[in-house]
Structure 1
Amino acid sequence: MSHRRFLFVLGSARAEGNTELLARRAAEQLPVGTEQRWIRLAEQPLPEFTDLRHDSDHVRPASGTVTGRLLDATLAATDIVIASPVYWYSVSALTKTYLDHWSGWLRTPGLDFKATLAGRTLWGVAALADTEPSVADPYVGTLNNSAAYMGMRFGGVLLGSGSKPGDVLEDTEALARAKTFFAREAPLARFPHESAGAQELSAS
């Protein structure tokens, strides 16, 4: 898409933490005029997701609600950036709730959520309190598989090391990667085992 609209979903419980600092460094490299919308989930907490799939249809949330505003922002974005620190090897609880709501939006009549997001790009930015990137493999898998199920492109995860506030700004390798992170062409996401089929993880 020639005109890109970025939605940054901030999933940390702490404002201006290491993950957000790294995401903003990467966003600084976007071309002038690129639309950016930043939503801090801790300031606009989503209600817990209720699975209605066997009981009744989901109803599109009103645009004036927290859920409705986040849905509208998600549908409008060409690029969705999950900026969540690595919590217990995966995304934060705030971020997981956001992704859980995707399940409801997938089943909302007339929304065409999956068809709308297909071909768009999902990115990840994360700070972790470790210097070994492999500990974030479950985090990367969560985002990759979510993108694959939705038919989205996956730009990968920009990882930085940081525990205390501001630590990530000392991670020179992460800052260097941030300069070109969003400039890369993101491929269509693929499940690690395509032969297993594209099954939604919450299908039970």
Structure 2
Amino acid sequence: MARKKILVFLGSPRKKGNSALLAQEAIAGAKAAGAQVESFYLHGMKIKPCTACDACRRKNQKDCILKDEMAPLYSKLRQAEAIVIATPVYWFTVSAQTKLFMDRWYAMGGDEGYPFKGKKFGIILTYADEDPFRSGAVNALRTFQDALGFVGAEIKGMVYGSAWKAGEIKKNKTLLKKARQLGKDLAASI
């Protein structure tokens, strides 16, 4: 039997930032449930912004024509059974790295339509202010709800909480457990 495939995309510029630490818990949970997990650190990747050229909408054009480190991710996104996106909230929404990555999904919606229909997603979000409204966390969550709803994906779970300094999230044992459970739940759902 083939192992369940889960992709994890980390949208923080800090490899040991709070959203990354929660993502590591989700990865551990998914692996414990028998999933094969591959993760990508978006900040370290050379992904260009969409140029709005619409070349991806030409007949028989499958993906974006830009040749960068997003190109190999298209096939991985199509093959994955579940996807986790972890991001801090920066200036009232998802990080620039996360938004850039999501913007480039547009290229996947050509002739065959978006390949996310029915895929399971897990969302991990950290923010500095304790108030999810004042911090922009609610805006970030809506970004995911709107985008994933548009492409027909299913959000299986969202784990989000407040932490200011890098690593501070480790003190929140409840949130760490929720992140690990998110990984287990995603693996169980596919």
Q: Under TM normalisation by the shorter chain, which class is it?
A: 0.7 to 0.9
Q: After the TM superposition, which residues 7-26 of structure 1 pair with which residues of structure 2 at under 5 Å, given as runs?
A: 7-26=7-26
- Mean Cα displacement is larger for which, 43-52 or 2-11? 2-11
Normalised to the residue count of structure 1, the TM-score between the two structures is 0.78
Q: For the residues of structure 2 that align with 1:166 and 1:15, how far apart are their CA atoms?
A: 10
Q: CA RMSD in A?
A: 2.7
Q: For the residues of structure 2 that align with 1:164 and 1:68, how far apart are their CA atoms?
A: 33
Q: After the TM superposition, which residues 119-158 of structure 1 pair with which residues of structure 2 at under 5 Å, given as runs?
A: 119-134=118-133, 135=135, 136-158=137-159
Q: For the residues of structure 1 that align with 2:71 and 2:55, how far apart are their CA atoms?
A: 23
Q: Which runs of 5+ in 2 are unaligned?
A: none
Letter in 2 for 1:8: V
More strand by share: 2
Q: Percent identity?
A: 25
1:37-83 CA distance string (max 9 Å, x none): 11111111211111123997366358x84121121221121111111
Structure 1 segments, 4+ long, off by >6 Å, are: none
Normalised to the residue count of structure 2, the TM-score between the two structures is 0.83
Greater relative contact order structure (CA < 8 Å, 6+ sep): 2
Instruction: Give the number of aligned pairs.
Output: 181
| 2:69 matches 1:66 | yes
More helix by share: 2
Letter in 1 for 2:10: L
Q: For the residues of structure 1 that align with 2:106 and 2:68, how far apart are their CA atoms?
A: 18
| 2:92 matches 1:93 | no
Kept after mapping to 1: 8 A contact 2:87/2:124: yes
